[in-house]
Amino acid sequence: MELQFLGTGAGMPSKERNTSSLALKLFEERGTIWLFDCGEATQHQILHTTIKPRKVEKIFITHLHGDHIFGLPGFLSSRSFLGGEETSPLTLYGPCGLKDWVIFTLQLTKTHLNYPLHFVEIHEGIIFEDDQFIVTAKQLEHVIPCYGFRVEQKPLPGELLVEKALKLGVPKGPMLGKLKSGEDVTLEDGTIVYSKDVTAPPKKGFVVTVLGDTKYCHQSIELSKDADIVIHEATFDYSTKKLAADYGHSTNVDAANIAKEAAAKYLILNHISARFLPHDLDKIIKESKNIFPNVFVANDFSLFHWKNGRLTEGNEDK
């Protein structure tokens, strides 16, 4: 799993930061990408990455402020013009009103999509589940309805203990694959070899919490409980905490307190106001680390890798 930030600014684009969008790359898990928010010029940002729009399977919208949705019509339209293989279906998850706005915009501009577009109007609770993932939503505290999402990967099958299976008489070949996938097998002599006897215990999947615009609130803590990675807005810093309260936003200190109280592993600060320039980031990180140690600040195109229970930041090979 990888996280790539396409836009990390707040309110409007600046020279350093575009408006909100985040790509959750699930290539190893399911061969697709999930987007969270799609601010203005998200498709332009994608051009500077290796992301292929056809690979975007789902888009989760936190709320209907323009800096989180104004890139949607362009992205949806361009996804039809890519040519090549048939474009796969796309599902949009968002608050009440998202479907009306998107459909009206497409109809008014006579935009035709060559792929199925599905809508899921989100409410609190589980909004998606399959055999790999569960996505839970909760409403946060902002000036309009706004949601946070908890993405939980279900436990992964344990590693096959090959040597143990071979000692029990299982021949090399398809039977080993069946055992690895959880299926019991019967040998030629009638002996049954049970998958549970030759596989290690299931491995815990990852948990990523993506929070929309919000004040400090208990819903954020609930969504972030024991999460591996929490992505939290930090529109303001501690010196501008009154502005944060007035506008329904959080400071970097609020975000650090959320991660600490939720017993999360890592925190990524996002949605940074244009008032903060690159040289201000060290102070923002230092303030946050005084409360919660494992903190990163996201910049446009930041790429984070999750592997073996560790989060690292690295570059993309373009």
Residues making up the binding site: 63, 65, 67-68, 142, 213, 271
Q: From the candidates 37, 67, 228, 254, give the one annotated as an active-site residue.
A: 67
**Distance between CA atoms of residues 51 and 30, nearest Å:** 15
Lookup result for tokens 């890139």:
71
First to last CA, the chain: 18
Tokens at 302, concatenated:
């930041």
Backbone torsions φ then ψ of 193, nearest 5 degrees:
-105, 120
Sign of CA dihedral 267, 310, 129, 53: positive
Q: Look at the chain and count its residues.
A: 318
Per the CB < 8 A criterion, the answer to whether 213 and 249 are in contact is yes
Residue closest to 264 by CA, chosen among 287, 305, 232, 241? 232
Query: Is 67 labeled as catalytic in the residue annotation?
Result: yes
DSSP class per residue in 255-295: HHHHHHHTT-SEEEEE-B-TTS-GGGHHHHHHHHHTT-SSE
Active site residues: 67
